[in-house]
Amino acid sequence: MNTPRQELEARVAQAVQKLFSPAPLPPFVRPCPDARHGDFQTNVALVHAKEAKANPRELAVKLSETVELEDIAEKPEIAGPGFLNFRLKPEYLAKQVVARWDDARLGVPLVANPETIVIDYSSPNIAKEMHVGHLRSTVLGDALARLHLFLGHTVIADNHIGDWGTGFGMILFGYKRDGDPEKLRLDPFGHLEGIYQRVREEAKNDPAVNDAAKRELVLLQQGDAENRKLWEQFLKYSLEALEVIYQRLGVQFDYTLGESFYNDALPGVVANLLERFIARESEGAVAIFSDGQLAPKDDPFLVSEKEGFRDNPLLIRKSDGGYNYATTDLATIRYRREHFHAKRVVYVVDGRQQMHFKQLFEAAKRWGYGDMELEHVWFGTILGADKKPIKTREGGDVKLKALIAEAEERAGKIIAEKRPEMSEHDRAVLGRVIGLGALKYADLAQNRNLDYVFSWEKLLAFDGNTAPYLQNAYVRTRSIFRKAGTETVEGIFAKVRAIQKLDPAGAAIFLSEPAELALSKKLLDFADSLHMAAQEYRPHYLCLYLFELATLFHKFWESCPVLTAEEAVRNSRLVLCDLTGRTLAQGLKLLGIDVIEQM
C-alpha cells in the first residue's frame, strides 16, 4: 500500500518520464512546508529546468498538465519559481483510510529486501549494578529491534554483556578475602560492586594488592578451577538479577553472548590479524595501525596534532598477554557473520565509544568484513537538573531498579489524585504501565545524539510529547466504543466493510470537516514515520508522529461529534477513532510501551 507521498511520487515520475527523461531520484515529493498551500510539493520542474537551461515555470506548467492525478488530487497549483503543490481529494483520503483500517498491519508494507540484523544493546558490565546510563541503550535497542522486526527483517537481539576482563581479578581477590555467599545470592550487583570498589581503591595505594588481583585474573584466564567456579557463580546470580530488571522493563533478548563467550577465540583472532599484516607488534603489545589508505583526517588510526598526525593504534593484545575490548569485538563480528549470517550489526552504545567503533569498523573492513553494514547508533548522556550527568543526592549512580520503582510510584500517586475511587490494585497496575511508559518515552522522544535533562514533572505530564498524553489519547479512542456498545459498533463496521467490498472505488466513509481531513492525512503517514525512524535508527521520529496524531485526534474529538452525527458521518468518524486508536497502540508497542483501555 503506497503512502500518499509515494503515490504522488510515482505519478510525478511517470509524467517526468514522458516529458523529460530520466526521472530524478526519489524522494522528490515532500510535505508542503505550509499546509495552506497544499499537502505535498515537488521541485522537479526546478531541477530539470536547471539541467535543461529552460524556464522552470514553463516546465512546471507542462508538468501540471501531463501528470495524471484525477483520482487522488486536485489539479496541481504552480507556486513560487516553479514548485508544484498538490492537494489530496477527500474521496481519495477516505478510500485510503478505509484500506488501512481494514488491514491488520495498518497499511505498513513489509520491506522488499529483508535482512538479518543483529542488534547489540543493553550490554552492561555485570560486576556493577545497572544504572541510569543503561536505560538508553536498553530502551533504544528494544525499540529498534521491535521496529525492524515489524518491518519484516530478521532481528537477532544480542546482549553483549561485559562478563570478563580486568575487573574480575579485583573481584576475585576481594571476594576470597571478604565475600559472603549469602549476600552474593541476595544482592549480587551490590555485593560485587562494593568489593570491586574497595579493592580498586586499595590497589591504587598498594602495589601488592594490585599484583594479587592480577594474579587472580591470570588464574581465571588459565582456567583455574576455584576461580572459574567463583566466576560462574558471579555470572549466574548477576544474570538472574539482570533478568528481573529486563522483565520489569518488558525487554527480551534472543541471545546473551557476553565477552567471556569469545574468550577462546581471541588468540586465533590476533594470530590471524598478524599473519595477514593487518596488525603488528609494538612495544610488546599487538595493535592495528593506519595502513595509509585513508585520508589522514578520516583515518581513525591517526589523530591530528599541532604538527601533522600521530598514530592512534587499536590495541588487540596487551604486553602482558591479556586481550582488549576490541579483540573481543572483532571475534564477535566474525561470529555474528558466520553463525547468524548477519548482513548488518547495529551497536546501540554510548557516544563516548565513538572512536572505538570507528576503529573497530575500519579494522573489520580490512579483515574482510567490508560487505557487512556496521552501525554505531550512539546516544548522549542523561543529565540532572544541574546539567551534569545525573547522580543521586549522595553523588552515586542512579540505579535503574530504583528509577523504575520511582516512575511507577509517582504515576500511581498522580492516578490516585485523578481517580480517588479507583481500587489500590487497579491503581498499581495503571501506575506500572504509565510510569514505565513515561520513563521509556522520555528517552525515546529525544534526538538520541543529544544529552537531555531528566525531569519527572515533564515526563509524567498528561499533556505535551509524553507517554501519558498518548496513552490518554488512546483511552479516548476506546471510550467511544464503550459508549456505543461493542455490538453496535461491530455491526456498523461490518456495514462499512460490505459497502467497501461492493464498490471499492465508492465511498463507505465521508470526510469533510477540516479536523477530519487533517486527522485522516496524518493517519496515512504512519508507514512513512516508521521507515524514517528505522532508516536513521531514530525512534524519536515515530514519537513525534504519534504526538502529532494524538494532537490532531484531540482537535477532531472537540470539533466533530461522533455518535450523534448522521449515519454516514458517524460511520466515518467511528472508523477514524478506531484507526487512530490502533495506530497509537501499534506505534507505542513498537516503542515498547503498553496502552490501557480505561483511565
Which residues are at the interface with ligand ARG (CB under 6 A)?
120, 123-125, 160, 162, 329, 332, 347, 349
Type of residue numbered 30:
R
- Phi, psi of 152, deg, nearest 5: 110, 5
How many degrees, rounded to 5, is the angle at CA 47 between CA 46 and CA 53?
A: 80
Burial of 2 (0-12, 13-18, 19+ CB in 10 A): middle
Under 8 Å between Cβ of 471 and 588: yes
Task: Supply the minimum distance, in Å, between the C-beta of residue 369 and ligand ARG.
Answer: 14
Least CB distance to ligand ARG at residue 139 (A): 15
- Least distance from ligand ARG to the Cβ atom of residue 288, Å: 16
Nearer to ligand ARG, 130 or 527 (CB): 130
In the complex with ligand ARG, which residue's Cβ is closer, 377 or 576?
377
Q: Which is nearer to ligand ARG, 96 or 359 (CB)?
A: 359
Cβ closest to ligand ARG, residue 359 vs residue 520: 359
Cβ-based nearer residue to ligand ARG, 141 or 539: 141
When the beta carbons of 3 and 332 are compared against ligand ARG, the nearer one is 332
* CB 131, min distance to ligand ARG, A: 10
Output DSSP code: residue 291: -
Q: Determine phi and psi for 513, rounding to 5 degrees.
A: -65, 145
- Least Å distance, CB 97 to ligand ARG, is 43
CB of 132 to ligand ARG, least distance (A): 13
Q: How many CB atoms lie within 10 A of CB 33?
A: 8
Nearer to ligand ARG, 93 or 273 (CB): 273
Bridge partners, 455 (sequence order): none
State which residue, 1 or 239, has the beta carbon closest to ligand ARG.
239
Asked if the peptide bond before residue 207 counts as cis, ω within 30 degrees of 0, the response is: no
Cell 535503574 belongs to 400
Strands 314-317 and 285-288: what pairing? antiparallel
Classify each residue of 545-555 as buried b or exposed e, where b means 16 or more C-beta atoms within 10 Å of its C-beta. bbbebbbbbbe
Cα pseudo-dihedral 570, 574, 576, 577, rounded to 10 = 130
CB of 332 to ligand ARG, least distance (A): 6
Helix (H) / strand (E) containing 71:
none
Burial environment of residue 290 by CB neighbours within 10 A (0 to 12, 13 to 18, 19 or more): middle
Q: Which is nearer to ligand ARG, 260 or 332 (CB)?
A: 332
How many whole angstroms separate alpha carbon 10 and alpha carbon 28? 10
**Residue 221 beta carbon to ligand ARG: minimum distance, rounded to whole angstroms:** 18
Q: Which of residues 120 and 516 has its CB atom nearest to ligand ARG in the complex? A: 120
**In 3D, which of 244, 200, 211, 3 has the Cα closest to residue 107?**
3
E strands, 422-483, are 452-453
The torsion angle over the Cα atoms of residues 81, 83, 87 and 92, rounded to 10 degrees, is 160
Residue 223 CB, shortest distance to ligand ARG, in Å, is 23
| Shortest Å, Cβ 353 to ligand ARG | 7
